[in-house]
Structure 1
Amino acid sequence: MQRPGEERRPPGTLARVAVGASVGRHTDHRDSVRMASKRISQETFDAAVRENIEEFEMGPDEAVREATEQFESQGVDLSTIVKTAPRVSADGPEEPEHDVLQALDTLAVLTDGQPDLLDAQGLQLLVVTLAQGTGAANLTCTALRLVRHVCLKHEQNRQALVKAGVLPLLTGAIVQHGRCADVVREACGALRVMTLDDDIRVPFGHAHTHAKMIVQENRGLKVLIKAAEAFPDSPGILGELCNTLSRLAVRNEFCQEIVDLGGLGILVGLLADDTNHQDLMKQVLSALRAIAGNDDVKDAIVRAGGAESIVATMTRHLANPQVCEQSCAALCVLALRKPENSRVIMEGGGALAALEAMKAHPQEAGVQKQACMLIRNLVARSQAFSQPILDLGAEALISKARAAHRDCEDVAKAALRDLGCRVELCELWTGQKGNLAL
């Protein structure tokens, strides 16, 4: 702030002084071309921003814009400068805790969308920071964010970090900072990105192997479920945890382990809470769908009241296409090869809810497809349900979905066939050579 009797300098004074010093003399218009090749350090830019905030009472974003304009007007190349506003508290601008945090913050900005920038030195810094920075939540949080950035769509970085021992550090961060929402959120994101197979530059990735290592070698499922117990009133964090559980439920025994650890009770309980947080409901439904890949878990979900809770959730959030799609998908898996589960779903109004979802979202291919698959699974081994479903208007809705969405062609025909409706099944090839010349 300005002191009594002190002359107030115009904004950008420090920027001009810094550039003049870097050039070695005052400059004029004739030197502008030569100045275009001049650069400044990140510290100089940050100091100019701080001056604008402290001396001229600018807001953080305005201070950054002013500093940028001042330097660029003098021909300074800012292409290597990270132009972000500092965090501000009631006491003024907050300084980074130490150089490692500042470096990681800058790496995180640079690597967002550019994972190729990670080199061997940066990888080593990242692993060492996670291994030694367990006492500082903000340092851990930034390092976790950087892991996510450099591993997205980059299989080589994923495998290199796993080889360097990053997986126990990811689960360890949740254990160490289990009550810090930011750390848990970033750690979940980093764990999920390790299970992706999204790099088109490689023929196949190690997504399944990484998921196995997270669960078997690093107690990943237990860590996530334990963390969920610490955030009963945080829908955002619970959604992150549910999403991560979905990515790890890649084997029959992992699905069962989630049930054994109490995860099923948490998931069904969240549905039964009648919450209005639709994003959380979508993630809970996705997790139930994932673990229902195990036939024994299907029955456990139904016994726990999961089928009725899913139907109630879909009915409550009928206007949300994502919730409707995930609800139909979860019920579809529960009904697969399970006539008794189909009976529970039918008695709970599952077929009616699915058809209402089709009416509410005629342009949503995902909703239409999953609803068709659910109807087909409900009647495939329980023909007695066909007429009650037809009485609800299923044939017209399924035919409409078939005509409107190419992705629904096969599932719609299968649903109509198993409902006993007239449908043409084209025989694409009979095994005859025909006119083909060999």
Structure 2
Amino acid sequence: MAKRRITQETFDAVVRENMEEFEMDPDEALKDAVEQFESQGVDLTFIVKAVAAVSCDNNQEKQTHEVLQSLESLRIGKDCEVTAGIKSFTDQCSLGFAQRYLAAEKGAYPIILSYCKKGLEEQDAMLASLSALAALTDGQPDILDAEGRQCLVDVLKKFREDSSVTRVAIRVVRHCCLKHEQNRQDFVKAGVLPLLTGAVTQHSGCAELVKEASAALRVMTFDDDVRVSFGHAHEHAKMIVLEHNGLKVLIESAKAHLGNNSVLSELCATLSRLAVRNEFCQDICDYGGLKLIMSLLADSYESSELVRQVVSAIRAIAGNDDVKDAVVAAGGVELIVIAMNRHMSNPAVCEQACACLSVLALRKPNNCKVIMENGAALTAVQAMNTHSNSVNVQKQACMLLRNLVARMDSYSQPILEMGAEALIRQAVQTHEDCGDVGKAALRDLGCEVELKELWIGKHGSITN
């Protein structure tokens, strides 16, 4: 059931009433208003939970929030106040989504966009205006229109030499494309993809820009807009690779930032999203990507976030059977198990490690042998025991155990002796999403399992 919503004015009126009628101090009045509305099931996500400031307007006192005060100064547009106004507005929008939402509701977008268009002739003004637009659009991609989209493309073209402006403009593009399929498609049609890959190449030494551009490219491959039945995620990934040489651009950029784990994590995450075809997986290897990824796993296994993204990248490119063998031959299994043991307390690492090993084992008996010899099955069982509440860890571990025995019956008994059966049964009982994969693992391990026959091919209703 959807929660009730109220306006900012309604919330502010209750806070003011608490202060004036019940003589509460501001903090107490605010706290009481929040508790009152939450107890009534009201959604306060879009409400600025702060006491409105008092300002003077035509010699009359007026209560308003700081973000709207900053917006009003920009609306008036006095030259002496513009710089301070834009900075104040940006700072206020950065405080939280409620401030951004309130600003957008009060017409902030066209005002900020007008400053962006004016700033096309001056770098400092452009940077400040874009920063304000980036703050405003964070979580609000719907406010972008065709005029704003064209302005951003123009900025990326005109300021391509300027890493600071380019970086912030790309951030706006990313914000506007996240969870918004139409914006993604419109930006691609407007030619943003070569601008993004070109920015990575041109400013390969600028870590923050590389991260921002890589993240924007990755967002272009998302299928996260629930309002759209079918997106262009796959098509965009193919365009980035085939038309704009995205794989080589990202791999070469990674080589330039070998000491920067945050940049490397971002690049690995994007490579994972681009490995959508068998030949792309092979291309990553041919460009030196697999060698790079393996060296990252060996040298940076202390960083849980980098390990997670590296293992995820290996999982993605191992969709190619030849790459599976290359990973195993390069000692990938041993490195993954070491990393998993090192970060056993991290469910995200355990999930990706089990999933990656599961892919390496699929239809590959020789790989299964290497995986068993390196103790991966026992590590997976330990992960199931450690993260019994994580449905994703349970699912991926079950899948790994199943793939290990699917073509190698001799591994069933050793895995059962590790205590796998009890853990799998517990996962099936605890997590509904583990039902199918858990029962399949039990079946292939030779355990008794009740498989429900949902349909027997006869006319009539489905019977249990």
Secondary structure in 1 aligned to 2:73?
coil
Decide whether the 8 Å contact of 2:268 with 2:309 is kept in 1: yes
Decide whether the 8 Å contact of 1:185 with 1:237 is kept in 2: yes
Other-structure match for 2:418: 392
Distance, in Å, in 1 between the alignment partners of 2:300 and 2:263 is 17
1:186 to 184, 192, 212: 212
Uncovered stretches (5+) of structure 2, i.e. residues with no partner: 1-54, 93-104, 113-121
Per-residue deviation, residues 28-83 of structure 1 (Å, max 9, x unmatched): 34x869xx99943368689569889xxxxxxx98xx79xxxxxxxxxxxx95569x
So what's the TM-score if we normalise by structure 2?
0.76
Distance, in Å, in 2 between the alignment partners of 1:375 and 1:429 is 28
Distance, in Å, in 2 between the alignment partners of 1:231 and 1:191 is 18
Distance, in Å, in 1 between the alignment partners of 2:308 and 2:77 is 47
Deviation at 1:250, TM superposition (A): 0.4
Distance, in Å, in 2 between the alignment partners of 1:309 and 1:115 is 40
Decide whether the 8 Å contact of 2:300 with 2:307 is kept in 1: no
Distance, in Å, in 2 between the alignment partners of 1:51 and 1:168 is 35
Secondary structure in 2 aligned to 1:135?
coil
Q: Is 2:351 the partner of 1:325?
A: yes
Other-structure match for 2:268: 242
1:289 to 315, 320, 331: 315
**Shift in alpha-carbon separation, 1:435–1:253, aligned structure 2, 3 A:** closer
Matches for 1:120-131 after TM superposition, within 5 Å:
120-131=146-157
Other-structure match for 1:417: 443
2:198 to 160, 164, 172: 172
Distance, in Å, in 1 between the alignment partners of 2:449 and 2:106 is 63
Q: Which amino acid aligns with 1:266?
A: L
Q: Is 2:407 the partner of 1:381?
A: yes
Decide whether the 8 Å contact of 1:274 with 1:313 is kept in 2: no
2:174 to 148, 158, 164: 148
Per-residue deviation, residues 195-245 of structure 1 (Å, max 9, x unmatched): 111222222111111100000010000000000011111110000000000
Other-structure match for 1:403: 429
2:303 to 272, 277, 288: 277
Other-structure match for 1:92: none
Secondary structure in 2 aligned to 1:255?
helix
Distance, in Å, in 2 between the alignment partners of 1:435 and 1:411 is 26
Distance, in Å, in 2 between the alignment partners of 1:204 and 1:435 is 32
Secondary structure in 1 aligned to 2:223?
coil
Matches for 1:31-430 after TM superposition, within 5 Å:
39-41=72-74, 79=106, 97-430=123-456
Decide whether the 8 Å contact of 2:344 with 2:350 is kept in 1: yes
Secondary structure in 2 aligned to 1:40?
helix
**Shift in alpha-carbon separation, 1:81–1:123, aligned structure 2, 3 A:** closer
Distance, in Å, in 2 between the alignment partners of 1:306 and 1:43 is 61
Distance, in Å, in 1 between the alignment partners of 2:394 and 2:368 is 19
Decide whether the 8 Å contact of 1:359 with 1:397 is kept in 2: yes
Secondary structure in 1 aligned to 2:328?
helix
* Worse-matched range after superposition: 97-106 or 159-168: 97-106
Deviation at 1:117, TM superposition (A): 1.9
Highest CA radius of gyration, 1 or 2? 1
Secondary structure in 2 aligned to 1:98?
helix
Deviation at 1:374, TM superposition (A): 0.3
Secondary structure in 1 aligned to 2:228?
coil
**Shift in alpha-carbon separation, 1:108–1:330, aligned structure 2, 3 A:** same
Per-residue deviation, residues 274-310 of structure 1 (Å, max 9, x unmatched): 5321111111111111111111111111111111111
Distance, in Å, in 1 between the alignment partners of 2:239 and 2:83 is 46
Decide whether the 8 Å contact of 1:41 with 1:81 is kept in 2: no
Q: Which amino acid aligns with 1:187?
A: A
So what's the TM-score if we normalise by structure 1?
0.80
Deviation at 1:181, TM superposition (A): 1.0
Distance, in Å, in 1 between the alignment partners of 2:438 and 2:326 is 29
Distance, in Å, in 2 between the alignment partners of 1:190 and 1:410 is 36
Distance, in Å, in 2 between the alignment partners of 1:415 and 1:81 is 55
Per-residue deviation, residues 307-351 of structure 1 (Å, max 9, x unmatched): 111111111111111100100000000000100000000000010
Deviation at 1:118, TM superposition (A): 1.7
Fraction of identical pairs, as percent: 57
Distance, in Å, in 1 between the alignment partners of 2:395 and 2:304 is 21
Deviation at 1:129, TM superposition (A): 1.3
**Shift in alpha-carbon separation, 1:316–1:39, aligned structure 2, 3 A:** closer
Decide whether the 8 Å contact of 1:239 with 1:284 is kept in 2: yes
Distance, in Å, in 1 between the alignment partners of 2:433 and 2:84 is 59
Distance, in Å, in 2 between the alignment partners of 1:367 and 1:46 is 57
Distance, in Å, in 1 between the alignment partners of 2:347 and 2:126 is 44
Decide whether the 8 Å contact of 1:194 with 1:207 is kept in 2: yes
Decide whether the 8 Å contact of 2:74 with 2:82 is kept in 1: no
Distance, in Å, in 2 between the alignment partners of 1:108 and 1:401 is 43
Q: Which amino acid aligns with 1:157?
A: N
Decide whether the 8 Å contact of 1:369 with 1:411 is kept in 2: yes
Distance, in Å, in 2 between the alignment partners of 1:408 and 1:173 is 43
For the aligned residue pairs, the C-alpha RMSD in angstroms reads 3.1
Distance, in Å, in 1 between the alignment partners of 2:73 and 2:261 is 44
**Shift in alpha-carbon separation, 1:81–1:415, aligned structure 2, 3 A:** closer
Q: Which amino acid aligns with 1:255?
A: C
Decide whether the 8 Å contact of 2:312 with 2:352 is kept in 1: yes
Decide whether the 8 Å contact of 2:73 with 2:81 is kept in 1: no
Uncovered stretches (5+) of structure 1, i.e. residues with no partner: 1-18, 53-59, 66-77, 85-95
Secondary structure in 2 aligned to 1:204?
coil
Other-structure match for 1:70: none
